[in-house]
Structure 1
């Protein structure tokens, strides 16, 4: 089976390729494409893929824009972080999906579903238009407040007042713009999903920052970045090389 991956995050594409090869010996990854532009260039010249894995949000736009410029004959499996309502709509449009972070068991099920499927069953125009309409209309509600402990009571903490969140000794702490620290009794992964991604970004496994809290960015060795935040954090906040491009794109937007 010949596979093409359209994904702008290096770590995500490498992880997907690793899982695919682990699940099927005779699987070949023909190309990894990291933008709308490179995907258009590739598919305008190559239609050898049996199956395409495609992230929705790429560095230079939505992956659906690819279909405005070129026809893809192979079936598509979208990788997405959209909520269940949107995912059901994907199914109704006869397009499969994998929810990020990709689970290997779910990946195996998707591979089995598409194994042996003939070409010629790619996206058609009305499917693309339907999904674009869905994405434009879909308005996810993000968390605006957390209840946090303060002495012997619970007080509301508005997310707009949070500068950043980090893990310390297994405990998630939120630091506000006025330098107060509060404990939030949730996993950082769950908090990340609850926050508006246009305002908050996961810098690494231990740290989420609000856009206005980013005070400076310095180049570090091996393509890493050191992030300065306000209020200052006691430890260095480092963005890995794999996540550096994603972070810079987020800041630019």
Structure 2
């Protein structure tokens, strides 16, 4: 696999190259670029790589400007110190969104995800048309809702402001980052299907939570986990033993 690194921090480049040499020793790094201008020029003279590692804040601006000049058709792994661009990243062929400092497990999981999505065994030429179609599916996830409130009004709610959804007396409610609570007309199953699973996890029948809402986690009886959120909740949130492995993988 031939990869391109677009990163303006030399220490971050060294760390990423060291991780890749350990985890994916057969990967060939075609070039290391540190700016929007250099990246655009590079694509004007070279073929599309198999994979791009892309930082968001480059020497001369936001990496998203690159997409206005280059039709990038290969998968991208974002590597950044900022988490506020995650939703935007998943609209441009993103495989994963890794926050610095990057751990070896982060890279390993991202490359495993790439292999699963491309659906080809190691060593076989990947079918990127299939992969890009799978990534484009990310764009269909809901990022905003219009929620009915008192009278004849609709309240715009961004998915990224939701800390968790829960069922209260048969009614689905969402608790937002500002502490407000609103009633959603969808079922919890419907919300699980339409929200990006990168950010939300259905821990049990009563709760669908955002990763950023989690404060810490307690080991519980019978191999379960007890999740403590950053805001008060009416009951203990338990992850069943059967879902603990999936939850840890998601987190």
Bigger relative contact order (CA 8 A; separation at least 6): 1
Structure 2 length-normalised TM: 0.49
